[in-house]
């Protein structure tokens, strides 16, 4: 019988490291909200946002590889 493998937690990351990685790679936020009454749509709100640094957005726009 195989012995169980001990689970190791990932090293904690600071908020600055997480923000740096997010801005370096970029992220897309997409969402929709529809307000309806009796099956009739009254209000539609759509959200689409790109979160990235200026350098990352320029690389995406011009198709350049990351350094």
Q: What is the pTM of this model?
A: 0.45
Closest CA to 35 of 24, 25, 45, 43: 43
Q: Does residue 3 form part of some domain? A: no
In a domain, 1, yes or no: no
5 found inside a domain: no
DSSP class per residue in 34-59: EEEETTEEEEEEEEEEEE--HHHHHH
Range of the domain at 19: 15-62
Q: Is residue 56 part of a domain?
A: yes
**Tens of pLDDT along 13-60?**
788 888 888 888 778 888 999 999 998 889 999 988 888 887 877 777
Based on the structure, what is the number of domains in the chain?
Answer: 1
Question: Which of 56, 61, 65, 59 lies closest to 27 in space, CA to CA?
Answer: 56
H helix runs in 1-67, sequence order: 15-25, 54-62
């Amino acid at each position: 019988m195989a012995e169980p493998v001990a689970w190791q937690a990932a090293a904690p990351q600071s908020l600055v490291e997480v923000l740096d990685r997010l801005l370096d790679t970029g992220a897309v936020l997409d969402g929709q909200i529809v307000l309806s009454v009796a099956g009739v749509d009254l209000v539609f709100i759509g959200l689409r946002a790109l979160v990235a640094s200026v350098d990352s957005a320029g690389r995406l726009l011009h198709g350049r590889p990351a350094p």
